[in-house]
Structure formats: C-alpha cells, structure tokens
Structure 1
C-alpha cells in the first residue's frame, strides 16, 4: 500500500506541474504576435498536454485503488468531497485540451488576463484536495 501511495503522490505532483504550466503557455500564446514563436509555443503546449494526460491516468488509477481497493476514506465525507474536487480537476484538464485546439485553429478570443485567472484554478483545486486529505474535516 505504501508503494501505491508513493506512486499516487508523485504522479499527482507531476500531473499538477502540467495543470499549472499549460495555462501559463496559454497566457503567452494569447499575447504572442510572431508566427514562429506561436508555433514553438503550440509545440510545447501539445507535448505538455500529452504528458499531462499520460500521467493523469495512473495518478487517478492509484487514487481509485487506494479508495476502492484498500478502503482509505471509505464511509467518510472527506473522501467524497475529494473525489468531487478530482472530478472538477479532470474537467479542467479536458477544458485545457479544448483551449489548446482553439489555439491550434487560430480561433482564440480570450485575453491573456483571462488565462491568468484561469491559471489559478488548479491551485485552488490542489489546496482543497490536500486540505481534505490532511485535515479530514468531515
């Protein structure tokens, strides 16, 4: 079980690295006017999104195993709240893919300021998830 917890923590940290950085690339894409720089940023964004997706799958699988396989948090309210936070983070991840495709098509209509605000959402998600696991408020 400790190995699964270890893998879960490392994989989630790696997934969050992408959730933090990809929207930052979007900020730069929203401000960029040079075609060569835009192309370079899009390559970075595509590779990062692919990495995030590959990492998210085993991170989620380890978390599900800890919850459903081993029973960590079973019958406690905090685990249900954490699962809700994780579902929101998965939706955020998927929406990042939608935004990336919008940039790839050259159809972005949002400002760099919007992306700066969007960039803060995974911080709140991480804070909520960690607080629920550590504090177990209910």
Structure 2
C-alpha cells in the first residue's frame, strides 16, 4: 500500500491500481482474513479502506455474494458508512461467517452533516 495512494488535498486522493488480466472471485473467507489482519493490527483502517476501494474499482474482481459486496462497500468509504474499528470489523466478520445478518443500515457515522463532501477517491491505472 505504501506509495499507492496520493493525497491530492484534504478531500481528494488517488489510488494507483494495476488491473489484473484474469478475473478473480472474492469470497467471504478472503474478507475474513482481512478482518483478522486488521484485528492483529497488520492492517490499519486506512489500509483496509484502500484494499476495499481497489477491489471495487478494478474490473477483474467478482463477488461471491451480496454480503461480500456490502462489506467491501462499507470498508471502502468509512467516512459515510461504518468507522473502521474493532467493533465494526467484528460486526462485518460475523456477517461474513454467517453468525449474524446485516441489519437495517444504521452506520456509526451519524454525526456527519448531510450534503457535505467528505472524500473523493479515484483510481489511477498503472501499467506495472
């Protein structure tokens, strides 16, 4: 992740992504491993958000099911979804493992003002 994100200003950032040639299906166990890495502090909240954004922005990834899609969407925009912390990552882990079902959307970031632009993240294609 180091060097892949360019912070343009306080709101705008760009993520450099090398698109894969082959398609790859992201499954629940893949995301559980990311949850575990976050809990072990091998990944920061920022790292997890960038990984989720890169997966969503790439044309090469497919989702095994809707839960995978929802979790990636939550992680990719913590500014408007759920703050990435141990509690919310464990909530997502429970969804991924089938211990709990996603409930009515009640994000943790209810303190945010409606209509304010919080973040813009764009994909920059790399040929590496």
TM score, norm. by length of structure 1: 0.32
Q: Which has the higher strand share?
A: 2
- Larger Rg computed on CA atoms: 1
Q: TM-score by structure 2 length?
A: 0.34
